[in-house]
Structure 1
Amino acid sequence: MRTLALLVLSVALAGCATNPVSGSPDFVLLSENQEIELGRANDPKIRAQFGLYDDPELQAYVQRVGERLAAQSHRPDLIYRFAVLDSPDVNAFALPGGYIYITRGILAYLQSEAELAAVLGHEIGHVTARHSVKQYSAATAASVAAAIFLRTQAGQDLFNIIGNALISGYGREHELESDRLGAEYLARSGYNPNAMIEVVGVLKNQEEFEKERAKAEGREPRIYHGVFATHPSADTRLQEVVAEARRHAVTDQPRLGRDEYLKHLDGLVFGDSAKSGVRHGASFYHREMNFAVTFPEGWRVENSPSAVTAFDAGRDAVVQMRAEDLNKRGTPRDYMKTRLKLDDMKDEKPVPGIGLPSHSGIARLSTPFGRRDARVAVVFQGNRAFTFFGASKKDLSAHDPVILAVAASLHPLTAEEQRIAEGLRIRVVTAGPRDTFAGLAKRSPVTNYAESVLRLINDRFPDGEPRKGELVKIIE
């Protein structure tokens, strides 16, 4: 017990620091230099995982807006780095030490520079209040205490401790504090702090629609962690912290910057990017790898850096496709034997109905449904081997023809498919006197919920129409 008391006391003494926002003592186990080093060490991991969006002008614009806010923050001496990530997810987050990220996915739903500033201000608030450092310190202290009682060693990694918070949020109190700080930084920077309420409203509408859509499609929703359970119009505490921030206003004519923001947004990639592959209906197109493949209608297609995976509506069957470069001449059957190590196959045969070199067989493999028979097919196109793995929760024979049909659909892009493989982009246009979102949706290449999507990205959800002469976002 004496050892325990001494260790707990030493941790507590080591963790005494002054909070940059409140000026009160904080329990933290990282110095500011260590905090900055954590951000510096993990920034390359974030950039490698998501990739930076390829638009230098947009990147520079976001950096300028972020620096304007950071200069008015409680930690203006930090060098802040703002980056737009090439992700369709609707999110923004910050690493310790001033590394702040915003996805192109969330940019599509914002309406002005002031709303962009509200999102960045919220994330700056997480940095200035040292929320991630507090999370790290609390988890580490708990780990040390557990180690004392269990006589084990405690070791924690940044992403093990705060990784979920970076993506999913820090809890109601810390998120509200970040909104309060963000609203204050808005006011001090010449923006209207009401932009915090406006952007939360925009993102809350997107969240509610996205949750319903994701539930219907059997996937996880893409939503921003900073949005609370209630709509901002009914959130008394949010209204109070924004009202408090108005006393920091530096101008009677706050900056909105709608036209400036929309100018930078014109041409923004919406949804899947050509670089990672584009889903369109039941098909998948990849520009750089020059291939297209079609899954059955109604199947949910998911794209990741390592594979394209599709499930049927009941998630009773799955097909996964992977691609690898070929480094040695041979046949698809040789590839299955040597590279895939499939020595014990049955029902071996070429993929029916395809003109490319192919081979397939049934092998006993680990699948999402447990270890069972799976159809494996390999198709050569150019210098790549495309491998298809298909399995069923029930008898494989019920879905085997479907799995083989997916493999047979692989082909180089046609001229029309090359256009589709470029993906969708946001265009900013001037609304005409007869324009409606229903009419704009009919001319949109968006295949599902086109009118709702257009309303959401223009902050007219669930109703409202374009006004003659105003700038509106469409998707082409």
Structure 2
Amino acid sequence: MQWLNFGLAALAAVLLVSCAANPVTGEQDLSLMSEEREIALGKKNHPEILKQYGVYDDPKLQAYVNRIGQELVKHSHRTNLTYTFTVLDSPDVNAFALPGGYIYITRGILAFINSEAELAAVLGHELGHVTARHGVQQYSKAMATTVGFTLATIFVPELRTDVSQQLMNILGNAMLSGYGREDELEADRLGAEYLARTSYEPGAMIDVIGILKNQEEFEKERAQKEDREPRVYHGVFASHPSADTRLQQVVAAASKYKRNGGKPGRLNRDPYLAQLDGVVFGDSVAQGIRRGNAFYHEGLNFSLTFPRGWQLSNEPKALSAISPGRDAAMEVRLVELKKDEKLTAKQVLVNKLKLGGLKQEGAVPGSKLPGYSAIARIATPFGRRNARVSVVMYQDRAYAFFGATKTDELLKQTDPLFLQVAASMHALTARERQWAKGLRIDIIRAGRNTSFKGLAHASPIPNYPERLLRLINDKYPDGELQAGEAVKIIH
């Protein structure tokens, strides 16, 4: 008990000397991280973010987003930081920031934005998280509740762990899922202020949140039907912005910072759409394109076909598929081989995948490529059980195919499908090479008879094309186009 009292006293002493002036409010906030450490943390983890998502390969678009971001920075509360704005090559609808001035926006969210002012609103919101040090505050609050951690770092310095790893563990969900109502609202307020000070219309903050709220509702409905987690932007609240009084109040308050005598600020719709023309929509070409039940990879020059109705998921390290009943699953991975390492498919399966106790061994039936397959007992999404494992060799690379089911009885029924997927691997045909280039955004002018129904009929979007086209053009759920209006289509 005496040790506990001593510990609490020591913790109180630490908290008294661990406060810093908030750059936005000027008030003293709990801060267990210096600005120098904050900057170093962002610098250290920035390459990891780029590695995970990839940088979208469009220097002109990158420069455009950076220019707008840097304009906002000039009117922010922490102009002393060096800011980096990056468009990530991800179809996810998101934007987030690392402490220290690293701000990211996905090409996926760009498709739903309809003006330069709305783009500035998203960037301004993330800039607000940095200037208000929300990430550092989140870390400090978490650490302050751990008396043992605080005492250990004071009295036993060698017990300290990597603070950057601790922070990333704490902030991982916050960066992608939100910091909580109050911090998100403050980020909206700051973003709206930076918009007004930069001569953009602060009301664009309300507009873009409304668009993203519609996208969130659509995505949640779609995810429920597909039995998966929805992928949505963290800066959206439970209520629609049109009914959110507090949000409207903080954005309206930014009007006092307008530099044009209270007149509406700039929106710059056409310049933004010009930058968006030709941007990739959906899957990244670098990671491969899903179309229906097929998968095409331009860089690796191959195609695969999965059973009809299976849901494909394309992640940086693996391609996975799950059956409509969610009782069977597949995963395809590239097996790492050393340079000039010459192995047969069987050697890869046994030595690289380290599988033993193989049953039903043999070549992959129907495959035109060298391959080997067997039943092995491995860890699967359904627990440790028998599964079909195949290795196919193609262009000096080894591809591993894993197929599993909920029960051994179902494996007997589904096994032929697993083998068919492995056997379907082949070099891209001329037509498939075009499909492997993916979908892109095209900006056109609506004619007198242009309708979303007609555009959806001609669209290559496989699911919900009309609803998705309305969403990306801010016409959801039932708006229509006016003749001469710029409209985004997918081709």
Q: Could you tell me the TM-score, scaled by structure 2's length? A: 0.94
Distance 1:98 1:40 in 2: 9
Structure 2 Cα separation of the partners of residues 330 and 45 of structure 1: 32
Output aligned runs, 1:310-329, within 5 Å. 310-324=321-335, 327-329=340-342
Q: Deviations over 1:119-144 (max 9, x none)?
A: 01101110111100100111111223
125 and 147 in structure 1: CA distance in 2 versus 1, 3 angstrom threshold: closer
The answer to whether the 8 A contact 1:143-1:154 is kept is no
Alignment-derived partner of residue 461 in structure 1: 476
Paired letter, 1:196: M
1:375 to 2:378 alignment: no
8 Å contact from structure 1 (residues 86, 104) kept in 2: yes
Could you give the per-residue CA deviations for residues 284-318 of structure 1, whole angstroms, max 9, x where no partner exists?
11000011111111111111222111111221111
- Whole-Å separation in 2 of the counterparts to 1:388 and 1:5: 55
Structure 2 counterpart of 1:225: 234
Name which of structure 1's ranges 203-212 and 402-411 shifts more when overlaid on structure 2.
402-411
Q: Does 2:139 match 1:126?
A: no
Residue equivalent to 1:216: 225
Question: Helix, strand or coil: the match of 2:387?
Answer: strand
Alignment of 1:36-75 (within 5 A): 36-75=39-78
2:109 maps to which residue? Answer: 106
- Among 417, 423, 427, the alignment partner of 1:402 is 417
Instruction: Give the one of 416, 431, 456 matched to 2:446.
Output: 431
Matches of 2:350 and 2:430, distance apart in 1: 35
Q: SS state of the match for residue 314, structure 1?
A: coil
Distance 1:145 1:334 in 2: 50
Aligned partners of 2:143 and 2:150 also within 8 Å? no
Match of 1:189, as an amino acid?
T
The letter for the 2-side match of 1:108 is A
Instruction: Note the C-alpha offset of 1:148.
Output: 5.4
1:338 equivalent in structure 2: 351
Residues 325 and 383 of structure 1 are in contact (CA less than 8 Å); yes or no, is this contact kept in structure 2? no
Q: Which residue of 1 aligns with 2:366?
A: 353
Q: Distance in 2 between matches of 1:268 and 1:303?
A: 19
SS of 2:282 mapped into structure 1: strand
Summarize deviations over 1:138-192 as a string: whole Å, max 9, x none: 111122356759x996645221111110111100010001101111111111011
Residues in 2 aligned to 1:79 and 1:147: alpha-carbon distance in whole angstroms: 30
Deviation, structure 1 residue 218: 1.9
* CA distance 1:384–1:181, shift in 2 (3 Å): same
Q: CA RMSD in A?
A: 1.7
Distance 1:101 1:419 in 2: 30
SS in 2 for 1:34: helix
User: Per-residue CA shift, 1:197-222, capped at 9, x if unaligned?
Assistant: 00000000000001111111122212
Distance 1:334 1:17 in 2: 60
- Percent same amino acid among aligned pairs? 57
Letter of the 1:419 partner, please give it.
Q
Which moved further from structure 2: 326-335 or 92-101?
326-335
The aligned length equals 475
CA distance in 2, matches of 1:333, 1:99: 46
Per the TM alignment, residue 8 of structure 1 is displaced from its structure 2 partner at its CA by 1.1
Is the partner of 2:317 in helix, strand or coil? coil
TM-score after normalising by structure 1? 0.96
Q: Where does residue 305 of structure 1 map in the other structure?
A: 316
Classify 1:32/1:335 alpha carbon distance in 2 versus 1 (closer, same or farther; 3 Å).
closer
